[in-house]
Amino acid sequence: MLTIMLCPKCMTENADDLQFCTRCHATLRFKCPKCWYEQNHGGTCDHCGADFKQYQAVFLAGLIGENARETQADADKVGHVMTATQMAVTAVTSPWMAILILARAVLFRLLRH
């Protein structure tokens, strides 16, 4: 028998096994980023006690640091670095240049492996 869960945002009835509300797309099921325990609220994991926001901040900081190291390694190969701001301005002013920059990034990834 299928159980019903009310969306906390729009109060629409949803099947209990759905991750997102069928009407407003609010998150109904949250997975702990540390132990993957599934629960119906965010914030703190009921199973391991991990703070979702703190864990996410540490994870994102690690990704940003890794991206910076990769960018510097690529820059050492090429001889220059294009910042995210420069890339965004270039993408707005010249879509073809943005495509070339993207192709260059893909080629570096392929050649690196």
pLDDT digits (tens, 9 = 90+) for 64-102: 566 555 655 555 555 455 555 555 555 555 666 667 777
Between the ranges 2-6, 20-24, 58-62, where is the mean pLDDT highest?
20-24
Q: Where are the beta strands (DSSP E) in the chain?
A: 4-6, 13-15, 30-31, 38-39
Give the Cα separation of 84 and 63 in Å (integer).
15
Model confidence, pTM: 0.47
Give the Cα separation of 94 and 40 in Å (integer).
45
Lowest mean pLDDT among 6-15, 48-57, 64-73, 101-110: 64-73
pLDDT digits (tens, 9 = 90+) for 12-22: 999 988 889 99
Asked if residue 5 has pLDDT above 60, the reply is yes
